[in-house]
Amino acid sequence: RLPNSIRLAPISFALVALSSLVFLLFFQLRIMVLLQWFNFVPVEMTDIGVSLGRPGNDWWRYVTPTLLHFSWLHLVFNCLWLWEFGQRIEHRIGAVNMVGLYLVTAVVSNGVQYLWSGPSIFGGMSGVVYSFLGFLWAASLVRPGWLQAPPPAILGFMLIWLIVGLLGTLEFLGVGAIANGAHIGGLAIGFVLGLLFGVLTRFHRSA
């Protein structure tokens, strides 16, 4: 029998498990073809370096960058928040809606990051994490008690982290490149969807 928390949030758990599996194959075992397949734009490894293409008909690339992580810290940080926020949402909206929420927020956050940085190599669940944060935040505003709102300390920390990333401080400190576009796009679409779900469920309950 699976633990109760996993049975109640199978999609959130699957996203954590899949991200971890891809990380082990890509980062630890150096199966670089995953980068070529999963990056937002095609990546070609040549003798003189890396060549980047442009978005084409590979529809899966709008989602799959979320599965790429480039360090243990990157993976652990994203997966902890992915589970913390994701299971709270999935308990309420169910697995099917959770799949839709993930896909929509992944596409939007990845798309905004591409518009922000142009053809580049980027990845990680952080855009989805910020979308889940925005969803919880907005839904708890329009329908208090329906979802467990993020504690003020966590909400403040995540927003400060977003601002620090925008200021370039993290890159200056050597943390690495930050997908600021994905963070902003994810938070925005998550907030909008949180408002929508909160209002719709409120009306449904009234009816």
**HSE-up (13 A, CA, CB side) for residue 66:** 31
**CB under 8 Å to 68, separation ≥6 — which residues?**
22, 26, 34, 35, 38, 39, 122, 123, 124
DSSP string, 117-167: H-S-----SHHHHHHHHHHHHHHHHHSBTTB-PPPHHHHHHHHHHHHHHHT
Measured CA to CA, the distance from residue 47 to residue 49 in angstroms comes to 6
Task: Give the active site residues.
Answer: 126, 183
CA 163 to chain centre: 17
State the helix-helix crossing angle for 72-117 and 180-206, rounded to 10 degrees: 90
- Counting DSSP H helices and E strands in the chain, the numbers are 8, 2
